[in-house]
Amino acid sequence: MNRIRGARGSRTLGIVALALAGISLCAAAGLLYAALAYFRAAEAIRLDPAGLSVYAAERGKAPAGLPLLVFFGDSRAAMWLQPTPPAGYRILNRGIGFQTTAQMLLRLDADVTSLRPAVIVIEGGVNDLKTIADFPERRTEIVAECKANLQQIVERCRQSGATVVLVTVFRIGDLALWRRPFWSSQVAAAVLEVNAFLPRLAGDRVVLFDANSVLADGRGHIQPAYQLDYLHLSSAGYAALNERLSPLLATLPR
């Protein structure tokens, strides 16, 4: 009887060991796939640093039915669900994933101001600031360049004749376990620092849109229901933003 029990116990342990090994292999494969995807994206950026090829086919083809409203920025802008357009506006999205404010600045004229939009919603900065986790010694430089680039983008949009809606940098969401060893609390601190700077850019035809006042819970964190991952919002998050943004857009000059 003891021999039977021992054999059963050994088989159970063997099954558990195999299951754990399978889980480990799946996790490793998932990480490898993510790493390869990230590497391919990085290599693609080297081939087209400004992302000028993304909207090349549509360049110079401003849609009829102006005034035009353009969303401009990184993946957070690209993923922004189109709000109900105010009467008389046409909406275009010119967001590109992974882009820093330096890349946004490089393609600003080609993708945005050349269209002569009436309103430009600008969202960007987190891709600059998240690099602090990899280059902590360059924190001061990264934050300063992010501020300077956003200031240039806002000013050039304003000088083009557009009204600017400048969106604050969304705060960082909950980090997955695999990401935590490669992260830094200084990223969240830098987001707060840049957001504290942005009100200085508000003024003549420049309106600040505080996204975090919509997205945050009572502790200042992004509400779980609004998170897709630690950097991106769910459809519910964008719906909440649009509920606040749409009435603002309706008040802007055309």
pLDDT digits (tens, 9 = 90+) for 57-101: 887 666 666 789 999 999 999 999 988 777 678 999 999 999 999
The number of distinct structural domains making up the chain is 2
49: which DSSP letter? Answer: T
Closest CA to 215 of 227, 207, 197, 198: 227
Task: Name 206's Cβ contacts closer than 8 Å, sequence gap at least 6.
Answer: 154, 158, 163, 164, 166
Say yes or no to pLDDT of 139 above 60: yes
Question: What is d(CA 122, CA 103) in angstroms, rounded to the nearest whole number?
Answer: 13
Closest by CA position to 122, among listed 236, 201, 219: 201
75 and 23 fall within a common domain: no
Place of tokens 């101001």: 113
Under DSSP, is residue 112 helix (H, G, I), strand (E, B) or coil?
Answer: coil
Q: Which residues of 237-250 are buried (b: 16+ CB within 10 A; e: fewer)?
A: bbebbbeebeeebe
Residues 83 and 146 reside in one and the same domain: yes
Mean pLDDT, the chain, integer: 87
| Structural domain for 28, as ranges | 1-47
What integer pLDDT is reported at residue 89 of this predicted model?
A: 87
Task: Of 3-7, 137-141, 236-240, give the lowest mean pLDDT range.
Answer: 3-7
| Among 137, 201, 205, 204, residue whose Cα is nearest residue 169 | 201
- Give tens-digit pLDDT for 153-184: 999 999 999 999 999 999 999 999 888 999 99
88 and 117 assigned to the same domain = yes
Q: What's the whole-model pTM score?
A: 0.84
Residue 239 sits in a domain whose CATH number is 3.40.50.1110
The predicted model gives 173-200 an average pLDDT of 95
Is residue 23 located within the same domain as residue 110?
Answer: no
Question: In this predicted structure, what is the pLDDT of residue 171?
Answer: 97
Q: ∠166-59-47 over CA atoms, to 5°?
A: 85
Do the Cβ atoms of 231 and 192 come closer than 8 Å? no
- In tens, the pLDDT along 89-122 reads 899 999 999 999 999 999 999 999 999 999 999 9
Predicted confidence (pLDDT) per residue in 27-44, tens digit:
455 444 444 445 555 565
CA dist 116 and 208 (Å) reads 21
Q: Are residues 17 and 118 in the same domain?
A: no
Answer yes or no: do 77 and 174 share one domain. Answer: yes
At residue 21 the predicted structure's pLDDT band, cuts being 50, 70 and 90, is low
Looking at the fold, whether 34 and 99 belong to one and the same domain comes out as no
- Indicate if 92 and 214 belong to the same structural domain: yes
